[in-house]
Amino acid sequence: MARRPDWELLEIPPLRWADGLGALREQARAAASLLTAGADDDRWVVIWAGGAAVTSSSDAQVDDELAQLHAVFAEVSSVLSGSGRSGTIFYASSAGGVYAGSADPPYTEQTPPSALAPYGRQKLLAERAVSEFAEQLGVDCLIGRISNLYGPGQRLDKVQGLISQLAMSRVTGRPTSIYVSLDTIRDYLYVDDAAGLILDALDRLAAQGGRVTKILASGQGTTIATLLGLFRALGKKRPNVVLGTSASSAYQASDLRLRSTVWTDLDRYRPTTLPEGISRTIADIESRIRNG
């Protein structure tokens, strides 16, 4: 965003999620500042990209996150309602979560969603809630169903993101546990490419208006076996991997190939190849470990 002259990032303090009422007040102040930033004819954008839940999260964990989303957007809506300034809401959803039980990949925006895990069901409920808030406010809305996101900066304590976990294993020597078949197919999208695609889509939405759902993906299916081969080629040694079983494996689809049919011209700009992205992820983790 900082590299785009037409965008301005409104800096707000990190939200203290454990302080329920305090976090809501912080969100209300942030929403109010959106209305005073920039020129009177500027558009505001709320990008919701938070969340700590993963595929193996329990019903209680995902219910808590959904309740937080409802509470925050209710507070934000009360501030933004009737402001007279046009705006857009973006919600970062999960393609893997919402299509895990769907049939006939590659999945597109026309594929009926079918969630297997509580995580996926929560994403679908959140999509609906965000769309309803946008309708109440009379603003545009973009739902981005994102594929397997990877790259520098990914949280390692969530034990999420196979590429980051393999990179961590390469640096530390600790093995990575894999609980699905090596022919499992995923679509890996580099974080900077995803961010650029989100901003491009928001620019398009500002020009056209409406409420849009779009898959954000590389369009390239990669098996775990191929991924391990790339790590071996980059590191000149076999990745340290342990194959096992887990109850959460039942929530994992064997084939999550994705293909967007919405605003397909935006998908042509994907500058980061998988080997490049993996190398940058490894370098980032090496730097983070070296610097404590």
Element (H, E) at 258: none
In-domain check, residue 212: yes
Query: Which of these, 9, 18, 117, lies nearest to 64 by C-alpha position?
Result: 18
Three-state secondary structure call for residue 73 = helix
> Residue 13 domain-assigned?
no
For the ranges 50-64, 132-146, 177-191, the lowest mean pLDDT is seen at: 50-64
The total domain count for the chain is 1
User: What is the pTM assigned to this prediction?
Assistant: 0.93
Distance CA 198, CA 196 (A): 5
> Is 137 inside any structural domain?
yes
Residue 7 lies in a domain: no
Q: What is the DSSP letter of 174?
A: P
Q: Are 192 and 276 in contact (CB under 8 A)?
A: no
pLDDT tens across 185-225, in order?
Answer: 999 999 999 999 999 999 999 999 999 999 999 999 999 99
> Mutual orientation of helices 20-36 and 59-80 as an angle, nearest 10°?
40
CATH number for 213: 3.40.50.720
Quote the tokens at residue 142: 């973009």
**Which positions ≥6 away from 147 have C-beta within 8 Å?**
95, 96, 186, 187, 188, 189, 215, 216, 217, 218, 256, 258
Q: Kindly state whether residue 60 falls inside one of the protein's structural domains.
A: yes
Asked if residue 4 belongs to a domain, the reply is no
- Quick one: average pLDDT of 76-88? 84
Q: Is 2 inside a domain boundary?
A: no
> Is the pLDDT higher at 36 or at 222?
222
Which H or E element spans position 186?
strand 185-190
DSSP symbols for 9-69:
----PPP-TTSHHHHHHHHHHHHHHHHHSS-TTPPEEEEE------TT--HHHHHHHHHHH
If we measure between CA atoms, which residue out of 114, 99, 119 comes closest to residue 57?
A: 119
HSE, CB side, 13 Å, CA atoms: give it for residue 140: 21
Note whether residue 11 is domain-resident.
no
CB neighbours of residue 273 within 10 Å: 12
Q: Does 282 score more than 90 pLDDT?
A: yes
Supply the range of the domain harboring residue 136.
20-290
Residue 30: is its pLDDT beyond 90? no
